């Protein structure tokens, strides 16, 4: 590998020892800063850095949860005087009440640097035209990518989410080459392009797409790559850790490098909070190592993933996370079986006759749990006769049963027949407990 492949060669390819040395120093500095916040002063006690001699000592520190952030809302986690803050984001509140995150000038800068590192890693370069089809505003996805793209020197179009026809016109008129888009919108935009008679491989210049902010399967990656003629790179982040730019795929598309100079990684058993065996699935727990305004110590992300064992051919020392399976609270239990929505998606999106939208309904009828999967079919299949549709329905049911080990009710829906929303997709409606 040549250094031209790295945005920050020194930090991306340093040795494991040097990286861990840097982490240990930054962890101690983070603890010194953290105790300036009322919440951490109480939680950590006096001079907590004295107990952290080695990196492994992080395990003796207490955990921070989303509930802690809620309780300390709005300003309880601040570690600097308010006059040093320049930015505030609020998490979109996918689950429950929102939480606030604060940034100093330096925090905004380090975040932009991390994002630039991600984009550069996938081959985006000055001369590329970058269209950011992500919600702007309180959601971190918009400004996070925006600042990183400008830092790198991409011509950045802040087109935001929605208004699909205009998005497509912008792509065509300005020869967009790189886009950032959440997976459910990428699927929806495919349908709009098809309706407009736009074939991206023929009519557009797209070559790279960043997809993240919500869970999606390899099958969705494949669909998006095939339709748009792009390479799709997985992008992971959460507001509490700045936003996007926490972990990102390199050109090998084999898992997400997590930037360990900025985040200390643990993967814990969600029940016992003990570390899982290296390479096992568990909950990602992160400690910020560079943040000034609002450091977080051992924050439970609720996201389930594993550390991939082998080194990446790209030469980066930063370890890789497997595709996020979902949040621990996305998992639902049906007739005693644990199911993640992503398992349903993986089956559906692997079937060519299935369209780009689906949802899962859970109901209780006569004290029995019933799962219904509503599936949009493609335009092509919709005009076929009943026998054909019936055969497809049976096929979907059979494939879902063999993946999930329970038999869902499958309902085929006409193209564009299911509700859509602009932000993250709502795929699961659990109506079993009305309260």
Minimum CB distance to Zn ion smaller for 312 or for 347: 312
Task: Give the pair of three-digit tokens for residue 188.
Answer: 């929806």
Q: Is residue 184 near ligand ADP by the rule CB under 6 A?
A: no
Give the angle 353-356-359 at the CA atoms, nearest 5°: 105
Minimum CB distance to Zn ion smaller for 12 or for 292: 12
- Which contiguous run of DSSP H or E holds residue 359? strand 354-365
CA 318 to chain CA centroid, Å, is 18
Binding mask 223-242 for K ion (x = CB under 5 A): ---------------x----
Minimum CB distance to Zn ion smaller for 151 or for 319: 319
Q: Is residue 234 near ligand ADP by the rule CB under 6 A?
A: yes
Minimum CB distance to ligand ADP smaller for 238 or for 289: 238
Closest contact distance (angstroms) between CB of 92 and ligand ADP is 4
Instruction: Report what 264 binds from Zn ion, K ion, ligand ADP, none; CB cut-off 5-8 Å by kind.
Output: none
Task: Give whole-number Cα distances, 206 to 16, 120, 184, in Å.
Answer: 36, 16, 18
Which of 39, 41, 43, 61 shows the shortest CA–CA distance to 51?
A: 61
Using CB under 5 A, which of 13, 23, 30, 91 touches K ion?
A: 91
Half-sphere exposure of 239 (CA within 13 A, CB side): 20
Question: Using CB under 6 A, which of the segments 237-245, 287-295, 369-377, 401-409 binds ligand ADP?
Answer: 237-245
Q: Cβ distance 374 to 411 under 8 Å? A: yes
Please tell me the distance from the alpha carbon of residue 195 to that of residue 419, in angstroms, as a whole number: 18
Q: Is residue 137 near ligand ADP by the rule CB under 6 A?
A: no
CB atoms within 10 A of CB 414: 11
Task: Give the pair of three-digit tokens for residue 155.
Answer: 């011509």
Classify strands 307-308 and 332-334 as parallel, antiparallel or unpaired.
unpaired
Using CB under 6 A, which of 147, 210, 228, 236 touches ligand ADP?
A: 236
Using CB under 5 A, which of 314, 317, 354, 425 touches Zn ion?
A: 314
Residues 6 or more apart whose Cβ sits within 8 Å of residue 381: 353, 388, 389, 392
Footprint of ligand ADP on 283-322 (CB under 6 A): 301, 303
Using CB under 6 A, which of 132, 239, 288, 356 touches ligand ADP?
A: 239
Beta strands in 110-242, from DSSP E residues, in sequence order: 129-132, 155-157, 178-181, 208-212, 231-238
Question: Using CB under 5 A, which of the segments 125-133, 263-271, 288-296, 307-315 binds Zn ion?
Answer: 307-315
Burial class (CB in 10 A: 0-12, 13-18, 19+), 416: middle
> Could you tell me where the DSSP H helices lie in 316-385?
341-349, 379-382
Q: Which residue is nearest to K ion (CB)?
A: 238
Q: Is residue 218 near ligand ADP by the rule CB under 6 A?
A: no
Closest contact distance (angstroms) between CB of 238 and ligand ADP is 4
Q: Is residue 250 near Zn ion by the rule CB under 5 A?
A: yes
Which residues of the chain form contacts with ligand ADP (CB under 6 A)?
91-94, 139-140, 212-215, 234-239, 301, 303, 324, 327
Which residues of the chain form contacts with Zn ion (CB under 5 A)?
250, 312, 314
Which residues of the chain form contacts with K ion (CB under 5 A)?
91, 238
């Amino acid at each position: 590998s040549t250094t031209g492949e790295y945005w920050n060669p020194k930090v991306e390819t340093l040795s494991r020892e040097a990286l861990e040395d840097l982490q240990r120093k930054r962890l101690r500095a983070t603890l010194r800063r953290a105790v300036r916040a009322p919440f951490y002063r109480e939680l950590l006690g006096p001079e907590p850095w004295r107990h952290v001699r080695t990196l492994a000592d992080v395990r003796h520190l207490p955990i921070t949860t989303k509930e802690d952030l809620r309780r300390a809302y709005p300003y309880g986690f601040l570690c600097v005087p308010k006059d040093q803050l320049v930015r505030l984001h609020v998490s979109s509140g996918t689950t429950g009440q929102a939480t606030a995150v604060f940034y100093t000038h330096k925090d905004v800068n380090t975040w932009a640097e991390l994002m630039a590192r991600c984009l550069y890693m996938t081959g985006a370069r000055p001369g590329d035209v970058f269209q950011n089809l992500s919600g702007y505003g309180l959601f971190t996805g918009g400004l996070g990518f925006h600042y990183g793209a400008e830092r790198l020197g991409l011509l950045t179009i802040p087109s935001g989410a929605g208004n699909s026809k205009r998005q497509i016109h912008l792509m065509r008129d300005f020869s967009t080459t790189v886009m950032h888009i959440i997976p459910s919108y990428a699927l929806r935009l495919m349908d709009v392009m098809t309706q407009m008679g736009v074939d991206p491989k023929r009519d557009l210049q797209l070559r790279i797409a960043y997809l993240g902010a919500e869970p999606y399967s390899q099958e969705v990656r494949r669909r998006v790559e095939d339709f748009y003629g792009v390479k799709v790179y997985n992008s992971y982040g959460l507001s509490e850790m700045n936003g996007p730019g926490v972990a990102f795929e390199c050109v090998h598309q084999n898992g997400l490098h997590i930037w360990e100079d900025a985040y200390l990684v643990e993967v814990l058993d969600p029940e016992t909070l003990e570390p899982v065996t290296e390479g096992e699935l568990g909950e990602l727990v992160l400690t910020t190592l560079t943040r000034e305004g609002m450091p977080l110590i051992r924050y439970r992300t609720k996201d389930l993933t594993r550390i991939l064992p082998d080194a990446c051919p790209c030469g980066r020392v930063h370890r890789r996370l497997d595709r996020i399976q979902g949040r621990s609270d996305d998992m639902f239990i049906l007739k005693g079986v644990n199911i993640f929505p992503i398992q349903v998606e993986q089956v559906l999106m692997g079937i060519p006759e299935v369209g780009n939208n689906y949802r899962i309904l859970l109901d209780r009828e006569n004290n029995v749990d019933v799962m219904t999967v509503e599936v949009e079919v493609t335009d092509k299949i919709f005009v076929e006769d009943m026998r054909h549709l019936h055969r497809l329905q049976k096929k979907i049911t059979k494939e879902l049963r063999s993946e999930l080990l329970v038999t869902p009710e499958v309902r085929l829906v006409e193209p564009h027949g299911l509700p859509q929303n602009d932000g993250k997709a709502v795929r699961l409606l659990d109506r079993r407990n009305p309260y």
